[in-house]
Amino acid sequence: MAIELLMPALSPTMEEGTLAKWLVKEGDTVSSGDIIAEIETDKATMEFEAVDEGVIGKILVAEGTENVAVNTAIATLLEEGEDADAAVTSSAAAPAEASSAAPATAKPAVAQEDDAPAPQMNLEPDWPEGTEVKQQTVREALRDAMAEEMRGNEDVFLMGEEVAEYQGAYKISQGLLDEFGSKRVIDTPITEHGFAGIGVGSAFGGLRPIVEFMTFNFAMQAIDQIINSAAKTLYMSGGQMGCPIVFRGPNGAAARVGAQHSQDYAAWYAQVPGLKVVMPYSASDAKGLLKSAIRDPNPVIFLENEILYGRAFDVPVMDDFTVPIGKARVWREGDDVTLVSFGIGMQYALEAADKLAEEGISAEVIDLRSLRPIDYDTVLASVMKTNRCVTVEEGWPVGSIGNHISATIMQKAFDYLDAPVINCTGKDVPMPYAANLEKLALVTTDEVIAAVKQVTYR
């Protein structure tokens, strides 16, 4: 049976084109790969190749014809021994239902939870009451977390710049080389894009890498591997291949290091499906969340803070202390306003809460800890109680975590709000070097207090 040659789609968006020129005539013999026509699309003139061998029977669309729709029969191709009037079978078994199918009835993400019960605050403590605690710095807690996980799983290793012999640019990996040797604590060259990719590949290959960025500013060199390779592969592989990896290092402003070394990436990473993002404030969270991150089967962005490294907090003395990713911590209960923060922002939120208490304003302070997934329930339950909310973060204001929290509160607890939510953020400028300007660029405790007074109409 003769085969119909159909007007081909020659680009992802082509719906019709011009049959510019026939390069064959009726009766010509063609074989696979021969150019038989030129077709003009909106972008270019393209060659149309025969994909079967045979003889051109009838030319059904004359050259020069414009607006020929994709999948229109333009000629017939005869097989050996057929004549031009032979019965015709379409080479297209069925038109593309893929492109014409009704679009998925996309529901906005929030609508999915319409029937969900009222949000409940999760106040379960991170460790059982009565557990012995010790004071430990964030730095020590991070090191202990890595060491414990490396003891427990041979596949866990640490790589990054100066993590081994130098003992860590910020001394986070102090002592790890001695305990685990150079096979598992690996100094890399200064080559973020390259070693991030090697780390991701090793995770595909079954290992559990911890990749340290000396600071997250340098991770921008590696952003393609983090987003396109690590975050998306599980989805693109239909669930076959995940990427258990932790990218960690200090994030945000340190002190007087200028614009290129002072940026908070929380909102950037939190936007990406496929990643988990955590940003601890305290030492116990640093430890418990890093241990969870190393065990997690997904890529986890673990955002630390240089200023917090030396600060000491209570850490429980337990054999295996972990904090689940995705659970906020309520640091302080209160009735008048909800302060939502994370990372070093917590310092300002807690200081503000102390000062506000002296003035008789009772603030509830929530540390998100995880930015993807976010513990929305705890935030919403709190706002439904206090009816007011101020968010606090160090990053830039546009597209901030605070913006997202505000939008969520508007959608789900609008009727509970007695004032607009205010986002306290870093200023919308690159970080200046001059001491006075840097101070102005950062969010401050006073700004948080002022925002609280605004939402409580005091």
Partner 1 sequence: MAAKKAASKPNVSSDELTEYYREMLLIRRFEEKAGQLYGMGLIGGFCHLYIGQEAVVVGLEAAAEEGDKRITSYRDHGHMLACGMDPNGVMAELTGREGGYSKGKGGSMHMFSKEKHFYGGHGIVAAQVPLGAGLAFADKYKENGRVTFTYFGDGAANQGQVYETFNMAALWKLPVIFVIENNQYAMGTSQARSTSSPDIYTRGAAFGIKGEVVDGMDVLAVKEAGEKAVAHCRAGKGPYILEVKTYRYRGHSMSDPAKYRTREEVQRVREERDPIERVREMLLTGKHATEDELKAIDKEIKAIVNESAEFAKDSPQPAESELWTDITA
- Write out the catalytic residue numbers: 192, 261
Number of residues that bind partner 1 (CB under 8 A): 71
Sole residue written with tokens 């200081």: 351
Q: Which is nearer to partner 1, 232 or 453 (CB)?
A: 232
Interaction of residue 398 with partner 1, rule CB under 8 A: no
CB 299 within 8 A of CB 396: no
Interaction of residue 128 with partner 1, rule CB under 8 A: no
What residues contact residue 236 under an 8 Å CB cut-off, 6+ apart?
A: none
Site for partner 1, residues 295 to 314, rule: CB under 8 A: 297-298
Q: Which of 2, 10, 158, 352 binds partner 1 (CB under 8 A)?
A: 10
- Please return the burial class of 3, using the count of CB atoms within 10 Å of its CB with bins 0-12, 13-18 and 19+: buried
Binding mask 251-280 for partner 1 (x = CB under 8 A): ----------------------xx-x----
Q: Which is nearer to partner 1, 192 or 367 (CB)?
A: 192
Binding mask 199-218 for partner 1 (x = CB under 8 A): xxxxxxxxx-----------
Q: Which of 28, 47, 359, 418 binds partner 1 (CB under 8 A)?
A: 47
Q: What is the DSSP letter of 225?
A: I
Give me the least distance between CB of 227 and partner 1, in Å please. 10
Structure tokens at 354: 């102390």
Nearest to 342 by CA among 443, 222, 452, 213: 443
The interface region with partner 1, picked from 35-43, 58-66, 171-179, 279-287 by CB under 8 A, is 35-43
Site for partner 1, residues 335 to 364, rule: CB under 8 A: none
| CA pair distance 371, 167, nearest whole angstrom | 29
DSSP string of 9-56, one letter each residue? P-STT--EEEEEEESS-TT-EE-TT-EEEEEE-SS-EEEEE-SS-EEE
What residues contact residue 290 under an 8 Å CB cut-off, 6+ apart?
A: 141, 142, 145, 146, 149, 246, 248, 280, 302
Which residue type occupies 278? V
Q: Which is nearer to partner 1, 296 or 393 (CB)?
A: 296
Give me the least distance between CB of 65 and partner 1, in Å please. 17
Whether omega for the bond prior to residue 373 falls within 30 degrees of 0, making it cis, is yes
Site for partner 1, residues 215 to 254, rule: CB under 8 A: 224-225, 228-229, 233-242
| CA pair distance 70, 328, nearest whole angstrom | 54
Q: Which of 18, 91, 174, 362 binds partner 1 (CB under 8 A)?
A: 91
| CA pair distance 57, 224, nearest whole angstrom | 51
Give me the least distance between CB of 2 and partner 1, in Å please. 16
The interface region with partner 1, picked from 88-96, 115-123, 344-352, 424-432 by CB under 8 A, is 88-96
Site for partner 1, residues 155 to 194, rule: CB under 8 A: 155, 157, 183, 188-189, 191, 193-194
Phi/psi region, residue 260 (left: phi>0; alpha: psi -120 to 50; beta: rest), is alpha
CB 196 within 8 A of CB 226: yes
CA dihedral sign, ordered 436, 441, 443, 449: positive
Count, residues in the chain: 458
Nearest to 328 by CA among 287, 400, 381, 291: 381
Give me the least distance between CB of 383 and partner 1, in Å please. 26
Q: Which is nearer to partner 1, 15 or 418 (CB)?
A: 15
Give me the least distance between CB of 99 and partner 1, in Å please. 6
Residues pairing with 246 in the sheet: 210, 300
Q: Which is nearer to partner 1, 157 or 216 (CB)?
A: 157
Interaction of residue 51 with partner 1, rule CB under 8 A: yes
Interaction of residue 92 with partner 1, rule CB under 8 A: yes
CA dihedral sign, ordered 50, 52, 55, 60: negative
Q: Which is nearer to partner 1, 30 or 352 (CB)?
A: 30
Q: Which is nearer to partner 1, 70 or 307 (CB)?
A: 70
Give me the least distance between CB of 245 and partner 1, in Å please. 10
Q: Which is nearer to partner 1, 324 or 397 (CB)?
A: 324
Give me the least distance between CB of 439 and partner 1, in Å please. 38
Give me the least distance between CB of 412 and partner 1, in Å please. 19
Give me the least distance between CB of 290 and partner 1, in Å please. 18
Site for partner 1, residues 409 to 448, rule: CB under 8 A: none
Q: Which is nearer to partner 1, 227 or 254 (CB)?
A: 227
Structure tokens at 294: 């190393």
Integer distance in angstroms from the first to the last C-alpha of the chain? 86
